[in-house]
Structure 1
Amino acid sequence: MKRNLIAMTLGATLLSGAALAEAHGGLMVAGSDQDVSGGTVTAEKIVAGANGWLVVHRTDDSGKPGPVVGHAPLKKGENMDVSAILTEPVNSGDKLMLMLHAEDGGMKTGVFEYTLGAKEDGPIKVDDKLVMAVISAK
């Protein structure tokens, strides 16, 4: 009984505090609002279909991805607690989109080559939807 209560409480906490990406064919990104004053942002869990990238985009209430402000490599499969170093200041209250990107189409494997709107190392879409989660910086 106690174990079930703990599991239910934990589940409710994760659902209420986490920005969970829509799961597309098993691919997903999950993250929570977090303190970014240390210059990093962390996705709690990412499931990737192939090696790729966690890409941190600025966003706003429109929900459209903006400029890239960080990235980190991913391996195929489940990736836990993936941290990306922020490449520019992010203020408390800013919204960030944690997005799954591919590792293909570029000139070099293992080098992040994406720029906004490019195809190299571009965003992964399933059923024309981005695999991502939106969080707020604290």
Structure 2
Amino acid sequence: ATGAALDTGAEQSGDGTSVTVPRAEVSGVDGWLAIHADDNGKPGEVIGHAPLREGENTDVAVRLDQPAQSGRLYAMVHADDPNDDRYTFPDGDPPVEADGRPVVEPLQYALTGEQAGGGEPLPASGGPNPLLLLSAVLAAATIAGAALVRQAWRPGSKD
């Protein structure tokens, strides 16, 4: 019988040329670990693949044929069927199924230099220094307070 298991690990980051899956297991056949792009919340086109040998495979590095963008990718185990050591999906090499469903796990990916969760790149400057701004406000308040005290206090008053 053919079976498979995956552990995609925590969020990964990189330059978009590869991903590493900590653990991929396939039983009954050799196979492939395919990385699929996201297609509205489900696996889309294959953007890279790497061979799997029957049994447990650890730290499987998958070189991507297309650069990955920040967001969700999917790791999916495919059988090498026909057993020809060539990745031929979708014509061959079908996804390995467990309980009638493909063995697939989501993987969060962030391009290096972007904030976690994708979005805009980090700015070159963090903007105004908050400590400098606070110092300026405190200095202005001190000067204004001293002027009020000086005006309220008059020589010869009983206070």
Partner of 1:103: 80
1:79 and 2:57 matched = yes
Task: Note the alpha carbon deviations across 1:61-89, whole angstroms, 9 max, x for none.
Answer: 53x21000000000000000001101111
- Unaligned runs of 5+ residues in structure 2 are 111-159
Shift >3 Å, 4+ stretches: none
Q: Compare CA radii of gyration and give the structure with the larger one.
A: 2
Confirm whether residue 69 of structure 1 aligns to residue 47 of structure 2: yes
Percent identity for Structure 1 against Structure 2: 34
Distance 2:17 2:35 in 1: 12
Unaligned runs of 5+ in 1: 1-24
- The secondary structure found in structure 1 opposite 2:14 is coil
Partner of 2:6: 29
AA partner of residue 102 (structure 1) = A
Equivalent AA in structure 2 for residue 87 of structure 1: D
Q: Which has the higher contact order (CA 8 A, sep 6+)?
A: 1
Partner of 2:36: 57
* CA RMSD across the alignment: 1.8
Q: How far, CA to CA, are the matches of 2:4 and 2:78 in structure 1?
A: 11
Please tell me the residue identity of whatever aligns with 2:73.
L
Structure 2 Cα separation of the partners of residues 27 and 42 of structure 1: 17
- Give the residue type in structure 2 aligned to 1:28: A
Q: Does 1:124 align with 2:96?
A: yes
Q: In the alignment, is the contact (CA less than 8 A) between 1:36 and 1:90 conserved in 2?
A: no
1:27 CA drift (Å): 2.4
Partner AA of 1:39 in structure 2: T
Contact 1:53-1:72 within 8 A present in 2 as well: yes
Q: Match of 2:107, as an amino acid? A: I
Partner of 2:19: 41
Q: TM-score, normalised by structure 1?
A: 0.71
C-alpha displacement at 1:136, in angstroms?
Answer: 1.1
